Structure 1
Amino acid sequence: MVKAIRIGAPATVDSLAVDTLADPGDPGPGEIRVKLGASSLNFHDFAVVAGMIPAAAGRIPMSDGAGIVEAVGEGVTDYKAGDTVVSLFFPDWADGAPPTSAFTRVPGDGIDGYAREVVVAPQSWFTRVPQGWSSAEAATLTCAGLTAWRALFVDGTTQPGSTVLIQGSGGVSVFALQFAKAAGARVIATSSSDAKLDKLKALGADALINYKEEPKWGAKALELTGGRGVDTVVEIGGAGTLDQSMVATRVGGHVALIGVLAGFAGPVQTALLMAKNLRVQGLTVGSRAQQLDMIAGVEANGIRPIISDHFPLERLGDAFRHQIANAHFGKIVVDI
């Protein structure tokens, strides 16, 4: 038998319950059997378990999963027993434009996820991990790491001398800070917590804005760039912060819209959008090819994830409570 966590009905954090599943057995052709070692929390996962994103009753949550290959099926060439692997957010998106099916088959959402001990799945649902990384470290990459990578280097053109603004100190923002600094960019970091700003500075942030003290932080970012504006904003707030992000961005700049923490909908200053010739682009994680590019970049630069907290699988609900209390810095990992 295999231990797993399921979402109850109605879906709430309090409805999460331990269940046992039949062992999935040996992998078939093209499949691998993975003993999962860790998952990590993202806002998307919270939205599913809290009922904000509808999911089937009894769904096994968590989009991120990493672990050790226990066995491989016929025809598997990418992995062997003993390899560490990490999951994809979009199992059906290999490269190029995402297929329509990708958005309906996210683990922990459209299909069962990785809050379980063992999974048997196609080898294409996973990639290798950065050399020397543990399962706990690797599990931070699937959603948060790849989102930050795509915002800066796939949809954006971050390079030495660029200026990037990050919001807060969650997983995506901290990865964006690490990636941008590795690329030789300048980073402006915002937070409502001076203690967290100090931690962001220790990771390399060049300038800091406490947005409670500077509610018009977009203008402050302009000031910090000598009136030019930043090249890219990694926008996690959504409707509630988009206007300030547009103020902060240079003419012809890029706002990577990756989150909705401050609102799902609201008015947009279309005149400002037009006057600055801005590109506001929504994005949802990325492809398998992009994940492999990110892993190569992580290895080349010696980057390691920032993990603030660990919870055992049985305490997944407590991990989410810790997340929504905003008590973490970087990533929260669930050890399986």
Structure 2
Amino acid sequence: MTPSDAAAKHATAETMRAWTLHAFGRSNLQLSEIDKPRPQADEALIRIRAFSLNYRDKLVIEGGLLPQLPTMPFTPISDMAGEVVAVGENVSRIRPGARVAGHFRTTWIEGNPTRDTSNPDTTLGGPLPGVASEYMVLPEHALVELPDALSFADGATLPIAALTAWMALDAQPGPRRHETVLVQGTGGVSLFALQFAQAMGHRVIPTSRSDEKLARAKTLGSFDGVNTQSYPNWADEVLSLTDRAGVDRIVEVVGGANLGQSLDALAIGGTVSQVGFLDGIDLSFAAVPLMLKHATIKGISVGDRQSFESMLAFMARHKIKPVIEETYSFESLTSALDHLDRGAFGKIVVAGWEG
């Protein structure tokens, strides 16, 4: 081997492939060769085996969520699973060979949110670098180990969608009062909420604009469904299904004026867990239903690592597997993003570098 061949081989060994964003807009995503990171003290190097897509990722790429990213080119996407291949000094929680998922809110370890743990600068996939690469380094405290029953593709769906659903249900250890829970749509957060609520013994009512998707949701354990295209005033139909009592909890992913109907469909003393804003970031609703029903609107922004670990234990105990509609190769990220635009039943995963 000549010196130039050796240098080329060394260069290849120290670089990796990654999707990089050079300016806002999907057309500015490029598959690039960049430096492979090395773990420093308290960090682990992870070989990424899969990542999943969230609505947040689309907004970051298009410039609709974060007006400024720290630097361009920027690697997007927030949720991944992979294997630890090396660790830096002082790492004790995670061992090489461990199968892990990243924790989106990297500094929120346990307890209620604080100014520090809610700092938006500590989230993966913007402003912190994202996971659409062959390797990445993360602090050991920003990793959770996956149960054996979950594949890398399964694990990649969990950090935002599953943990958001878990927190939206106010999941706590111990006995639970059985509730009626309404989940909106059949995307990742909503289907995780359906599966978790059903396993907790709650009665679950999903909404969708598709009878076919409502039928699929029923196979996961839903009680009944409401087609919001057939019933634009869908709150009235929910009240009919509940003998006018309303539902105890709503996982609200739509936002905008839809929140007004959520309050109409809510039971006395019920809770709306506001987790999304598909129809607009500005919420609008009448004050009277909120007041008369003594309702609570609770904002949810993912959760802490301890809750993530409790959720994983619950999933293992109840044998819950994520609903993945389709898996794309890493080279096909733009096609996966197109699928996200069309909507999915559950999650879209990107897994497996070619070559």
Q: What TM-score, normalized to structure 2?
A: 0.90
1:51 maps to 2:45 = no
Q: Report if the CA contact (8 A) 1:158-1:185 is conserved.
A: no
2:47 to 21, 35, 38: 35
Aligned to 1:171: 188
Following superposition, the deviation at residue 107 of structure 1 comes to 1.0
Following superposition, the deviation at residue 174 of structure 1 comes to 0.4
2:109 to 76, 94, 98: 94
Pair 1:99–1:116, CA change in 2 (3 A):
farther
- Runs of 4+ with >4 A deviation: 154-158
1:273 maps to 2:290 = yes
In structure 2, stretches of 5+ residues that fail to align are: 1-14
Aligned to 1:335: 351
Name the SS of the counterpart of 1:238 in structure 2: coil
1:288 is aligned with what amino acid? R
1:294 maps to 2:311 = yes
Name the SS of the counterpart of 1:177 in structure 2: helix
1:150 maps to 2:162 = no
> In structure 1, how many angstroms separate the alpha carbons of the residues matched to 2:166 and 2:95?
28
Aligned to 1:65: 80
- Give me the CA root mean square deviation: 1.7
> In structure 2, how many angstroms separate the alpha carbons of the residues matched to 1:266 and 1:107?
26
Pair 1:158–1:259, CA change in 2 (3 A):
farther
Q: Report if the CA contact (8 A) 1:158-1:183 is conserved.
A: no
2:158 is aligned with what amino acid? L
Name the SS of the counterpart of 1:246 in structure 2: helix
Deviation per residue, 1:56-75 (Å, 9 max, x gap): 23221111011011112222
The aligned length equals 333
Bigger mean CA deviation after superposition, 167-176 or 146-155:
146-155
1:23 maps to 2:39 = no
> In structure 2, how many angstroms separate the alpha carbons of the residues matched to 1:63 and 1:14?
19
In structure 1, stretches of 5+ residues that fail to align are: none
Deviation per residue, 1:165-214 (Å, 9 max, x gap): 00110000000000000000000010001111111011111011000001
Q: Report if the CA contact (8 A) 1:158-1:180 is conserved.
A: no
Q: Report if the CA contact (8 A) 1:218-1:248 is conserved.
A: yes
Deviation per residue, 1:85-141 (Å, 9 max, x gap): 000110011112334343222111111010011012211111111232111100110
1:14 maps to 2:27 = yes
1:83 to 87, 98, 103: 98
Following superposition, the deviation at residue 160 of structure 1 comes to 5.3
Deviation per residue, 1:226-281 (Å, 9 max, x gap): 11111100000001310111111101100000000012114321111111111011
Aligned to 2:3: none
> In structure 2, how many angstroms separate the alpha carbons of the residues matched to 1:24 and 1:298?
32
Please tell me whether Structure 1 or Structure 2 has the larger radius of gyration of its CA atoms: 2
**Aligned runs of 1:184-333 on 2, under 5 Å?**
184-326=201-343, 328-333=344-349
> In structure 2, how many angstroms separate the alpha carbons of the residues matched to 1:271 and 1:59?
46
Q: Report if the CA contact (8 A) 2:259-2:283 is conserved.
A: no
Deviation per residue, 1:26-81 (Å, 9 max, x gap): x2322111101011011111110111012423221111011011112222222222
Name the SS of the counterpart of 1:14 in structure 2: helix
> In structure 2, how many angstroms separate the alpha carbons of the residues matched to 1:75 and 1:198?
51
> In structure 2, how many angstroms separate the alpha carbons of the residues matched to 1:24 and 1:266?
42
Deviation per residue, 1:298-335 (Å, 9 max, x gap): 11111000100111222212111111112x21000011
Q: Report if the CA contact (8 A) 2:18-2:34 is conserved.
A: yes
> In structure 2, how many angstroms separate the alpha carbons of the residues matched to 1:266 and 1:235?
11
Q: Report if the CA contact (8 A) 1:78-1:123 is conserved.
A: yes
Bigger mean CA deviation after superposition, 57-66 or 254-263:
57-66
> In structure 2, how many angstroms separate the alpha carbons of the residues matched to 1:140 and 1:165?
21
Q: Report if the CA contact (8 A) 1:156-1:254 is conserved.
A: no
Q: Report if the CA contact (8 A) 2:253-2:275 is conserved.
A: yes
Q: Report if the CA contact (8 A) 1:59-1:111 is conserved.
A: no
1:106 maps to 2:123 = yes
1:333 is aligned with what amino acid? V
1:6 is aligned with what amino acid? T
